[in-house]
Amino acid sequence: MSDGNEAIILDALDKFLTTEVDPFVHDLEARDEYPHEIVEKMKEMGLFGCIIAEEYGGLGLSTGTYAKIVARITRSWMSLSGIINSHLIMASAVQRHGTDAQKERFLPRFATGELRGGVGLTEPDCGTDLQAIRTTARREGDDYVVNGTKTWITNSKYGNVLALLVKTDPKTTPAHKGMSLFIAEKHEGFIVSRKLEKLGYRGIDTCELLFENYHVHTDCLIGGVEGRGLQQILSGLELGRINVAARGVGVARAALDLAVAYSQQRKTFGKPICDHQAIQLKLGEMATRAEAGRLLVEAAAAAYDRGERCDMEAGMAKYAATEAAMENAAECMRIHGAYGYSKEYDVERLYRDAPLLIIGEGTNELQRIIIAKQLVERNPA
């Protein structure tokens, strides 16, 4: 399906969210329950193949269209967007860097969701500094033997495959030259040790993993050559940052929608609170933040689709849109007053979900550093 059908895709998605997601989000999120039935319907819609090429059974959508899909899903429930995002970062790594045999073997199964998963990067002592990972893969004949621990891994309990970052040569300097990326399917030695309890982003499986003499065949080394893993996954993280930025747009817009609706219903001193200047100032700021985030995401996605280096654009989008989500969620709660603090309403869920966005896929502190470095590099004195 091409982007010429974007309107059809987004309309179908809106109907799906209205009928199959919105009525169930509150209870699923409150119970921290994985949405199995919703995920099966997402598979049927082809959402797990959004950006996978049509020749491999995917929808072949542009990053721009995908970002709009993510923002719309997030307006209903942010956790659902994470279920496809981590999966598609993995798929993107294979599509961009895999061998022809790997693409033919894995991408069609990724597109249908038969194989569904994410990326295994973060470790207990390593998040932003990926070169500090300790998980190793030692070559033994036609296999690599993996040992180590990963944490904060999305789609790891109910998924069945990861793009797994390891060190195939721990002694190499600089460290990234000894890092490799594998397509790691679940089997003996791939252990889900515990599910992590979170403030927000509930319902989605985020776990700690243990690899104990886990064997992965040499033909699952992405690209077939050792030492390229960090570069392979960093290109996918640009996509991830655009996704998280799109989530920020979704949360910021959801908070704005709730605030606008409530401000017309709630009355004080004989008139709706939307007629009070104090509330109008808040709504004006919220609307501007959400729209600015949306436009930055659109620009970053366009740069990514053109094949340009876009770490600065993705960083700007991620920083602005996720800060907008944080600020809008807080302002929405203030506008709702005591009702915003109640678990009966969706406002408090947005308030709990938003903080993850300023941390995940590279903290917003890191984004500002990336932006500044690229700004200087692109504008030499």
Q: Domain residue spans in the chain?
A: 3-112, 117-227, 231-378
At the top level of CATH, the class of 3-112 is mainly alpha
pLDDT number for residue 1: 44
Torsion angle of the four alpha carbons 358, 362, 363, 368, in this order, in degrees rounded to the nearest 10: -110
pLDDT number for residue 235: 75
Based on the residue annotation, tell me whether 361 is a catalytic residue of this protein.
yes
Which of 232, 240, 234 lies closest to 96, judged by CA?
232
Give, in degrees to the nearest 5, the angle at Cα 236 between 92 and 91. Answer: 20
Structural fold of domain 231-378: Butyryl-CoA Dehydrogenase, subunit A; domain 3 (1.20.140)
What is the enclosing helix (H) or strand (E) of 143?
Answer: strand 143-154
187 vs 203: CA distance, rounded Å:
24
Tokens of 315: 């960083």
Which of 129, 134, 110 lies closest to 51, judged by CA?
110
What is the enclosing helix (H) or strand (E) of 348?
Answer: helix 347-359
DSSP-derived pairing of the beta strands 143-154 and 206-217 = antiparallel
Give, in degrees to the nearest 5, the angle at Cα 27 between 258 and 153. Answer: 95
Cα–Cα distances (Å) from 247 to 70, 109, 230, 293, in that order, read: 6, 26, 25, 10
At the top level of CATH, the class of 117-227 is mainly beta
3-state secondary structure labels for all residues of 172-205: CCCHHHHEEEEEEECCCCEEEEEECCCCCCCCCC
pTM of the model: 0.93
pLDDT number for residue 176: 87
Give, in degrees to the nearest 5, the angle at Cα 49 between 35 and 235. Answer: 105
* Residues 318/361, Cβ–Cβ less than 8 Å: yes
Listed as ranges, residues in the chain with pLDDT below 50 are: 1-3
Of 6, 226, 361, 377, the catalytic one is 361
Cα–Cα distances (Å) from 377 to 306, 312, 330, in that order, read: 20, 11, 36
- Which long-range contacts link 355-360 to residues 24+ away (Cβ below 8 Å)? 355/199, 355/200, 355/326, 356/198, 356/199, 356/200, 356/201, 357/244, 357/247, 357/248, 357/251, 357/321, 357/322, 357/325, 357/326, 358/322, 358/323, 358/325, 358/326, 360/244
